Amino acid sequence: MTLLTQLYAYTLKNSKSLINAASTNIVCVRHASKKFSGSTRISPGHPRPKHRGWRVQDGHYVEKSTILATQRKLRFHPGLYVGFGRDGTLYALEKGKVFVTCEKINPNLDRAWAKAHYANRENTVIYKKHFNVIPDPQDNRFVLIDAL
């Protein structure tokens, strides 16, 4: 820094300026090359949504192991040919057509999921949505190999 100040003072002496070189101090300031901006995609107070809920509507055809609904609380129940995952995901066990029905349930309070969600609702009538998969009919054509 002092070398830069001396160089500046020497150039001022040679140019015969009216400025006193001894009293002149040069201060170097380094400015940012890019402006700072925060990320607009993920901020701490606004996590990404989980997009829970229905994945397949009533009347649609699905393949085996297709996810029908995701849930955090016990909103939807498994019906015919529908599996229930550990995290509450409902998935198809067979290929077929999806039907959603509203049915009366009798929760088994020995299960952890049922106990967590229906512990205070004993002796009440509860209606919930059930996902059902009606499998495609198997081919009725067959060849008779041997008669009895």
Q: What is the CATH number of domain 53-135?
A: 2.40.50.100
* DSSP-assigned states of every residue in 20-65: -GGG------PPPSS-----SS-BTTBPPP---EESS-TT-EE-TT
Q: Please say if the pLDDT value at position 87 is more than 80.
A: yes
What's the confidence (pLDDT) of residue 12? 65
Based on the number of CB atoms within 10 Å of its own CB, is 71 exposed (0-12), middle (13-18) or buried (19 or more)?
middle
What are the residue ranges spanned by the domains of the chain?
53-135
Of 86 and 45, the structure prediction assigns the larger pLDDT to 86
**What confidence score (pLDDT) does residue 78 get?**
94
Question: Which residue reads 């550990």 in tokens?
Answer: 86
pLDDT of res. 148: 73
Phi, psi of 21 (to 5 degrees): -70, -25
Using one digit for the tens of pLDDT, what is the confidence trace for 5-48?
777 777 767 665 555 555 556 777 777 776 666 666 666 777 88
Is residue 57 scored above 90 in pLDDT?
yes
Q: What is the pTM of this model?
A: 0.60
C-alpha distances out from residue 38 to 33, 34, 117, Å = 16, 12, 40
The C-alpha atoms of residue 47 and residue 130 are separated, in whole angstroms, by 30
Q: What confidence score (pLDDT) does residue 92 get? A: 97
Both structure tokens of 105: 């349930």
Q: Residue 2, SS3?
A: helix
At residue 112, the pLDDT reads 85
Out of 42-46, 61-65, 125-129, pick the least confident: 42-46
